[in-house]
Amino acid sequence: MVCLGNICRSPLAHGILQSKLPENFKVDSAGTAAYHIGNNPDYRSIEVAKSNGIDISMQKARQFAAADFKLFDYIYAMDESNYRNIVALAETSDDIAKVKLFLEENPMVKNKNVPDPYYGDVKDFTTVFDLIDSTASILSKKLIRTHEK
């Protein structure tokens, strides 16, 4: 799960998707930018997750790296700008094939960018939570169908 700072959107996607999957599915998150490396998620993401029963407070921001293409089977970008930044680090066509927009998994959603809530208010974080939660429900079912036989 990859956004820009790895403190608002992708920590939510990481915590929410992991909560819907068995433990043998390893979900992680990163940011394409280096601004917040080592920081915990934004307090507003921590709060909206907590009020929905998910603890993301222990997460620490890290920067997406080319090595991640080899470590993960699927790489989900929170918006098109992050998508481009991820693909720019790809070394092979197999790397590129792993990258998708997260909201591509949700046919109900027209705009495929998870809005950046960093300069917004609590309501924006709630909107982001709901968007990620509904999409993670669809994606988790698909992953379980694909991988658990």
Give catalytic residues, as residue numbers: 3, 9, 116
Nearer to ligand 4NP, 23 or 88 (CB): 88
Q: How far apart are CA 25 and CA 139, in angstroms?
A: 12
Shortest CB 34 distance to ligand 4NP, Å: 10
In single-letter form, the type of residue at position 104 comes to E
Shortest CB 23 distance to ligand 4NP, Å: 25
Nearer to ligand 4NP, 123 or 149 (CB): 123
How far is CA 9 from each of CA 88, 93, 146, rounded to the nearest angstrom? 21, 27, 25
Nearer to ligand 4NP, 91 or 123 (CB): 123
Q: How far apart are CA 12 and CA 5, in angstroms?
A: 12
Q: How far apart are CA 30 and CA 85, in angstroms?
A: 12
Residues at the interface with ligand 4NP (CB under 6 A): 3-9, 31, 35, 116, 118
